Amino acid sequence: MANNAGARKAIRKIEARTEVNKARRTRVRTYLRKFQEALTGGDVEVAKAAFITAQSELMRAVSKGVVHKNTGSRKVSRLAAQLKKLSAA
């Protein structure tokens, strides 16, 4: 248990940061899901728009430190490959 004022403050800060990061992670997942739904819908234009928003949201999470840089890049790369596959079909 926290035994001094600094430790108690650190716990409060961690809890606050955890809530913010949780919200950011949820937001990213929402945009990824919207992209997947656009892919299954089969409309290339809607999928492209969803890809752009999902990509920007992922990179935003990377810049905020919620997602590691390589993880964000990998996810964007895989999304782009899925979009390319849909466009080619």
Give the domains, in start order, of the chain with CATH numbers: 5-88 (1.20.58.110)
pLDDT for position 60: 97
How many Cβ atoms are within 10 Å of 78's Cβ, its own excluded? 10
Q: What is the pLDDT of residues 19-42, one digit of tens each?
A: 999 999 999 999 999 999 999 998
- pTM for this structure? 0.85
Handedness of CA 11, 59, 85, 31 (dihedral sign): positive
- As a whole number of angstroms, the distance between CA 88 and CA 85 comes to 5
Residue type, 31: Y
Q: What is the pLDDT of residues 9-25, one digit of tens each?
A: 999 999 999 999 999 99
pLDDT for position 89: 72
pLDDT for position 1: 77
Q: Which string of b and e fits 28-39 if b means at least 16 CB within 10 Å?
A: beebbebbeebb
pLDDT for position 51: 97
pLDDT for position 71: 97
What is the SS3 assignment for 61?
helix
